[in-house]
Amino acid sequence: MTGAASVSIAFLGTGLMGAPMVRRLLGAGHRVTVWNRASEKAQALAGDGATVAATPAEAGAGAEVVFTMLSDATAVADVLFGSGTVEAISAGAVVVDTSSIAPAQARDHAQRLADRGIAAVDCPVSGGVAGAEAGTLALMAGGAPDVIARIAPVMEPLGRLTHVGPAGAGQVCKLANQQIVAITIGAVAEAMVLVEAGGADRAKFRDAIRGGFAESRILDLHGGRMIARDFTPGGPSRLHLKDLKAVTALADANDLTLPLTKAVSSAFEAFVAAGHGEVDHSGLLLHLESLNPTTDRKDDT
């Protein structure tokens, strides 16, 4: 695989993140066959040049690189091992799982693929839909160095690829990323509640601190969502809660005490339990507002 070569790719899972990633790969000149459980999401990519497959096995047949971008480990295992896909993928191909799943599950999948002569890379991503559209995703790759070097040219249109360790390491880094994102969303949301209670303007507060030590992508994008009160999901809260539960499991397995993660996980659990699982994770603001009625707000003077 070279930067100039057109590679045969199967892409399984063309939802919020998968669809713009497919468009980036097509734009780089690759031949992409797509499949999605909700077929209309795959059909929408035909106009961009993608070939639409009726089954994941049909998509994977003959592909040099097979991407998965699915909701959880159960979905990944079902698509790869329960739908005839692994039997259709040729030995020597590379499966790149860009889904967010537990590290132990990623290692299990890698071993099962290796038993069939198929290489595996766990490569979860960060950057959201905006990063997928712009090709600026952070790509955290776990696997063998030579395999990751082979796929690097294919990954280039998607963002910045970093080899972070052996199988499962990509997922460990994604969990750590999700810790930081969740805690920072919580911090920004709490600040928004405090600012309004103290009588300041939320939008002007955000403008005022831009460029200072509190600057971040979270303040920029998610803080903007909070001000606009636009919680259309880029990252549904139920999926972020899924990742936080995996963080807790990994922490428990290593006898770690992570109080900030525990607090924000509890907040997301309550938010999702209240029926907001499909709300963007920046909508955690709504949970904090529900804990803090708007009456009798004043300055502490």
Cα separation, 43 vs 38, whole angstroms: 9
Cα end-to-end distance, the chain, whole Å: 66
Q: Are strands 65-68 and 125-126 parallel, antiparallel or unpaired?
A: unpaired
41 catalytic, yes or no?
Answer: no
Q: Which two tokens stand for residue 273?
A: 């339990």
> What element of type H or E holds 31?
strand 31-35
Rounded distance between C-alpha atoms, residue 187 and residue 293, angstroms: 18
Tell me which DSSP letter residue 53 carries: P
Q: How far apart are CA 30 and CA 128, in angstroms?
A: 22
CB-side exposure of 82: number of CA atoms within 13 Å?
A: 7
Written as one letter, the residue type at 27 is G
Q: Side-chain half-sphere of 256: how many Cα atoms within 13 Å? A: 12
Q: How far apart are CA 46 and CA 82, in angstroms?
A: 26
Active-site position among 174, 204, 245, 298: 174
Catalytic site residues?
A: 174
